[in-house]
Structure 1
Amino acid sequence: MAGAAVAALLCALIGDVHAACQDATVTQELLHAGFHRELLVKVELGGGGEDAGGCTVAARIHLPPGVYVDPYELASLQRHNLTKAVLVPDAVDVEAPEYSATELLVLLYMDPDPRCSRCFRATLPLHGRYHRPAEDSEEASVVLKSPEVLLCCCDNRLSTECWTPAEVEAPCSGKPDGPCRWYSTTHKAVPEELILQVPVGLRQHSSLVCVLTLLATGLCSSLILAAVCKHGHFSE
């Protein structure tokens, strides 16, 4: 009887811990259309979010080769305090097509949402890469998986039942160098995956595109040569 009572007490305590440590909720939304988009990420911390006061909240996002973040654009936005993020790797080939590009890892720092004490949000500019021409579809699908929720706390200790240490090589946003530590938590995504549709060309149009490109190049070259011959000053 005593053993059964202890087991019941342990189950009740574990249930209370799990009830207090509710999963964080992550919502992703794509803004605008075409190749140049914005990814809006919203995070609502779970029941353990009350321990996160004074901590930095971030979303760790894995971007597939079909999209990229322009580091020059990101630097400009950060100078104007419009967003803050860390790229890995920090050197990005913005001209590479999808089939020769590599994945990117982005640590996107979140801003508190004034309408909700446990809510955070941030936007990230995304650009679609050129894909190979398709057979019968004018769009290619790029799957964006749900980001991971991270916290960095310098002055607070999070409950170990709700948060676990995470290996992240990035500074805490706005925090001085010191004993800061990143933590992660379980989360539920709404939806789990986001589909980005990128416009692509059709293979049956390849010949037409090549012919029009050659004609346009020849016409422009002829006009430039004619203008140089007519208005240019040549010396012997």
Structure 2
Amino acid sequence: MLEMINMYICLFMLLLGICEAATGEHDACPFTAQGFRSLRLLVDVNRRGFHRDLVYSVRHDNGLPADLRVLLIHKLPSGIYMDVYQLESLKKDAGLQVLLNSEVDLEAPAYWSPAFFAFVYPTSHPTMPWHLQAVVPFHGRYHRPSLSGKWEQLVIEPPKLLLKSDICKPLFSSLSHKVIEAPCTAKNYSFCTWIEFDNLQGPKAVTLDLPVGDLSLTLPVCGGTLAITVICSLYLSQTIWKYGTF
């Protein structure tokens, strides 16, 4: 009987060790101090015209930790805006997680609008688990007409990349970094401690051209409009005088 109990105890300990080993292997940080530098943040712009998308991607060749959370803090110029109502709709329909630091006037022109910050929380790509992505729509604002050309060039600087992972916390602590307090989620209920790493290669700035009015056409447009208005007014006056009953 005693031998039977000892056998069950040994079997239980063996199974426990196998489970712990499997769990530890699954939860192991896929980064190394050297390989961590290959973590890539990509920022691109899709579509043309006044209505476009900012596409954010975070990737690593060896995969990403299971508990990795990413926050992108992006300062955006006054020449564009993000529609909070559209973001809320995409949050319900597609799970997009974006938080803006201030209210956005959707109708204000670029020269009356300030720059603003967007807090973007990328989520797992549906077909590539090692790939975090967020596609955020934005829109161009009205700009003053220009004499120099028909386009206004905007420069969108790259965002800050902040990370949070308990699995990789020992590795993160050993690297050169800054500690930043920022909203934990797009719901903005509380703040969490995030880590921003120094010397991590980031994306280049993105430039885009928005069409603007041609100021050199002011005189012909105004003159043509005035001439058509006068001609139509004279024609209507003549018709009323000829066929009208007074």
1:24 maps to 2:32: no
1:134 maps to 2:168: no
1:150 maps to 2:140: no
Q: Larger C-alpha radius of gyration, 1 or 2?
A: 2
Q: What is the correspondence of 1:1-236 to structure 2 with a 5 Å cutoff?
A: 18-45=33-60, 50=64, 52-89=65-102, 91-113=103-125, 116-153=128-165, 156=167, 158=169, 159=171, 160-162=173-175, 164-172=177-185, 180-186=192-198, 187-190=200-203, 192-210=204-222
Inter-CA distance 80–217: structure 2 relative to 1 (3 Å threshold): farther
- The unaligned stretches of length 5 or more in structure 2 are 1-31, 233-246
Q: Following the alignment from structure 1 to structure 2, what is the Cα–Cα distance between the partners of residues 82 and 122?
A: 10
Give the superposition deviation at 1:70.
1.0
Count of residues in correspondence between the two structures? 199
1:19-48 CA-to-partner distances (Å, cap 9, x unmatched) read 14315312122111111111111112487x
TM-score for the superposition, normalised by structure 2 = 0.68
1:154-199 CA-to-partner distances (Å, cap 9, x unmatched) read x54522124735324312369996x942222343234x11111111
1:210-231 CA-to-partner distances (Å, cap 9, x unmatched) read 4677799998xxxxxxxxxxxx
Q: Following the alignment from structure 1 to structure 2, what is the Cα–Cα distance between the partners of residues 42 and 175?
A: 22
Name the structure, 1 or 2, with higher relative contact order (CA <8 Å, separation 6+). 1
Inter-CA distance 59–46: structure 2 relative to 1 (3 Å threshold): farther
1:90-117 CA-to-partner distances (Å, cap 9, x unmatched) read x111111111211110011101135555
**Paired residues of 2:183 and 2:192 also in contact (CA < 8 A):** no
Q: Following the alignment from structure 1 to structure 2, what is the Cα–Cα distance between the partners of residues 131 and 176?
A: 36
Secondary structure, counterpart of 1:189 in structure 2:
coil
Give the superposition deviation at 1:125.
0.8
Letter in 2 for 1:167: I
Percentage identity across aligned positions?
A: 26
1:46-105 CA-to-partner distances (Å, cap 9, x unmatched) read 87x75x42132121111011111111111111122341101011x111111111211110
Measured on the aligned residues, the alpha-carbon RMSD in Å equals 3.3
TM-score for the superposition, normalised by structure 1 = 0.70
Q: Following the alignment from structure 1 to structure 2, what is the Cα–Cα distance between the partners of residues 144 and 130?
A: 17
**Paired residues of 2:37 and 2:201 also in contact (CA < 8 A):** no
More off after superposition, 110-119 vs 128-137: 110-119
Letter in 2 for 1:141: Q
